[in-house]
Amino acid sequence: MAAIALAAWRRAALALSAGALLAGAAPALAQEAPDAMVKRVAQEVLAIIRSDPAVQAGNEARIREVLETKLLPNFDFGRMTALAMGKNWRAATPEQQKRLTDEFRGLLVRTYSGALNQYRNETIEYKPLRMNPGDTEVMVRTLVVRASGVPVQIDYGMEKKADAWKCHDVVVAGVSLVTNYRDEFNEQVKSGGVDGLIKTIADRNRGVAAK
Amino acid sequence: MEAESEHRMTERGAWIPAAAALAGMLLAGCAAAPSRVDPLEPMNRALYEVHDVVDTNVVKPFVQGYVNVIPLPIRRTVSNVFNNIDDLFSAINDALQGKPDKFADDMARVVLNTSFGIGGIFDIATEAGIARGDEDFGQTFGVWGFGQGPYLFVPLFGPTTVRDGTGVILRIAVGPVGYVPDVPVRNALYGVAAIDQRSQLLGTGQLVDTAAIDRYLFIRNAYLQRRRYLVYDGAPPPEPEEE
């Protein structure tokens, strides 16, 4: 009897874990909604920030690891760079586009990792998503409520890709990240060409201060 | 508000002609309809360099000291009191812009915080879920259809435009700190207001240092985006394409 009961229990457990696996895989199959994705990623990252002592101590390697594994796969850096470049994007060769995207990604990651360990007691409110069926571009709106100071509206510009929604713009209190870089990129391209711009960002990433 | 520190020695009356002159520039700026946002860039860049040296070496260390020495609850109280006054002016601007719902919210904030919040020391309105309207004269001019005019960088004050700067001067001129009869007390209040304002921006400066390729342009574009967003109450129409 005991053996049968055990076998039954095992089967149930197996069925349960298979169900859990399927549930876990479901977002990939049915494609997770953009607002649900932002919420999931934000909660995952916040949970790590709040509980991980290395992140709280400002351990850069660990912060970088959290960003690389949890946050950055959800961004479309190519689109981000193209938007920041504006009309200059088409003037760049594919090879320049790739180098520029890599360096710009590096700049954004450094900016984020500097800011990341400052967040701890924040809570995020998610505003209702305004989206029509079939939309491939959407803005996910959130409000970050801080223990000290005024709440900050942070919106994510998202695009539907083949496998998942990807973020190509972060708008903080009305300031779009990619739009903000447009003049800086343009100025650099005007004075030193696309290679000049790539070199400037690369220098910044290697610790040369901005002018 | 940060500008108030620079003007601590100035008599209140002196603001009226200055405001009038700037208002004139504002109108002229609109008539000319400048195609570029920053026609005075060479001058602004020079002023930014001056500002940056003074801010980095004097203002920022001093304000950092304020943050280190004064405990958060006291600093928050200081912010709350000044915010309460700003909320009153936000309500005035809600009225000038014809926004009855925001006017009701801002007035409710002022009444709640002034009475139960003991003169604005406690921001109980925020805890009650009434958001700040965050309106000012510069936004009102914008809603009335005035263009922003040339971008200006004012040392010790920061980024502004002719339109927004006119709004700030008008705001200082109408008070209430200007009505404090005792000059040292009045100047101290201006000083504390400026320190409070600057202290809110300490984290932002760090971010700009890391993120910017050209800090002058980064700050200018962030300021102009932010103001546009505020004039349109958080729902700006798509940016018109340049060139």
Average pLDDT value for residue range A185-208: 90
Chain B residues with CB under 8 Å of a chain A CB are: 72, 76, 131-132, 200, 203, 206-207, 209-215, 217-218, 220-222, 225-226, 228-230, 234, 236, 239, 243
* pLDDT for res B160: 95
For residues B36-74, one letter each, b for 16 or more C-beta atoms within 10 angstroms of the residue's C-beta and e for the rest, the string is ebbebbeebbebbeebbeebeeebbeebeebeeeeeeee
Q: Which of A174, A184, A201 sits opposite B217 (nearest CB)?
A: A184
* DSSP-assigned states of every residue in chain A: -HHHHHHHHHHHHHHHHHHHHHHHHHHHHHT--HHHHHHHHHHHHHHHHHH-HHHHTT-HHHHHHHIIIIIGGGB-HHHHHHHHHGGGGTTS-HHHHHHHHHHHHHHHHHHHHHHHTT-SS-EEEEPPP---TT-SEEEEEEEEEPSSS--EEEEEEEEE-SSSEEEEEEEETTEEHHHHHHHHHHHHHHHHHHHHHHHHHHHHHTTPPP-
Residue B62 tokens read as 């001093």
Q: Which of B211, B217, B236 sits opposite A111 (nearest CB)?
A: B211
Tell me the C-alpha distance between B34 and B147, whole Å.
9
pLDDT at A64 over 70: yes
Q: Which of A111, A169, A183 to mutate to test the interface with B (most CBs of B within 10 A)?
A: A183
The pLDDT tens digits for B71-128 are 888 988 898 999 899 999 999 999 999 999 999 999 999 999 999 889 888 988 888 8
Give the strand pairing for A123-126 and A152-160: unpaired
DSSP for residue B79: H
Tell me the C-alpha distance between A79 and A96, whole Å.
14
Q: Identify the H or E element spanning B93.
A: helix B72-96
- Cite the DSSP H helix spans in B97-180: 100-115, 124-127, 137-143, 162-174
CB A169, CB A157: distance < 8 Å: yes
- List CB contacts (< 8 A) between A173 and chain B: 226, 229
The pLDDT tens digits for B10-62 are 334 444 444 455 455 444 444 333 348 899 999 999 999 999 999 999 999 99
Residue of higher predicted confidence among B183 and A9: B183
Chain B within 8 Å of A88 (Cβ-Cβ)? no
> Which residue, among B150, B146, B147, B154, has the nearest Cα to B39 in the 3D structure?
B150
Q: Residue B120, by phi and psi: left (phi above 0), alpha (psi -120 to 50) or beta? A: left
Tell me the C-alpha distance between A48 and A64, whole Å.
12
Q: Which of A114, A182, A210 sits opposite B206 (nearest CB)?
A: A114
How close, in Å, is residue A115 to chain B by CA atoms?
7
Amino acid, single-letter form, for residue A160: K
pTM comes to 0.78
Average pLDDT value for residue range A13-20: 52
pLDDT at A71 over 50: yes
